[in-house]
Amino acid sequence: MKYIVFDFDGTLADSTDVFIKAWNLFAPKYRYDPIDVEGVIATKHMSLSQRAREYNFPMYKLPIIMPKVYRFFKENIKEVKLFDGIKDMLNDLTAKGYKIVVVSSNAKENIELLLKQEGVDLVSEVLTSSRIFGKDTVLKKFMKQNKVSPDQILYVGDELRDIQACNKVSIPFMWVSWGIDGFDLVEKENPKFVVHKPEEITRNLLNAANK
């Protein structure tokens, strides 16, 4: 494998608190129900559509609401941190010769701001999708531009939609347990690796390379 592609929110960045604040800020205007940390945990095993129904969230208004959420994210970037161990893990992967890429539906500016804030300059490319279910298109374009095959890439993420996008383009997937979605959601999509700590990402890659 040559490229390690990371999802951003819930995988690299601990942004749950900021997203909860943004969600609740816009809830009255768009007439959906507020949420708290306990609610996020309680819905880990629900699909996006199930969560939307649970909180009366109007999915058809997603293209209107999400830019406002990402603007709020930027304004509150100081409250967002990388998960513990992420920076060391990225350093280890880079030292082993892997190229680090971030693919996200968050705004590119937000991602670059947080990486700078956290002192991370190891990411070779930041790619974003304006569509919440559009990562397979981004990945396909990335492979074409860089002339790489799916087996030269590993995608690391926390959500069902991430692994579904990877399966569409035959990219192997590593699921992290500290993110948004529970394992029962992604299990049926057959992730190649399952990890519970950032340091396990490097360990799994090295073990696979030595087989």
Question: Nearest-CA neighbor of 193 among 205, 178, 211, 180?
Answer: 205
Nearest Cα to 37, choosing from 27, 50, 24, 52?
24
Low-confidence ranges of the chain (pLDDT < 50): none
Superfamily of domain 3-14+81-209, CATH level 4 = HAD superfamily/HAD-like (3.40.50.1000)
At residue 211, the pLDDT reads: 61
Region at 57 (left for phi over 0; alpha for psi -120 to 50; beta for the rest)? beta
Distances (CA, A) of 203 to 31, 109, 179, 186, 207: 45, 31, 19, 21, 6
Q: What is the pLDDT of residue 210?
A: 63
Give dist(CA 141, CA 124) in Å, integer: 16
Q: What is the pLDDT of residue 35?
A: 97
> In three state form, how does the secondary structure of 59-111 look?
HHHHHHHHHHHHHHHHHCHHHCEECCCHHHHHHHHHHCCCEEEEEECCCHHHH
Contact 177, 71 (CB under 8 A): no
At which residue do the structure tokens 């890659």 appear?
205
Contact of 28 with 34, CB cutoff 8 Å? no
For the chain, give every domain's residue range. 3-14+81-209, 16-79
pLDDT at residue 133 in the model: 74
Give pTM, 2 decimals.
Answer: 0.95
> Which residue type does 203 have?
R
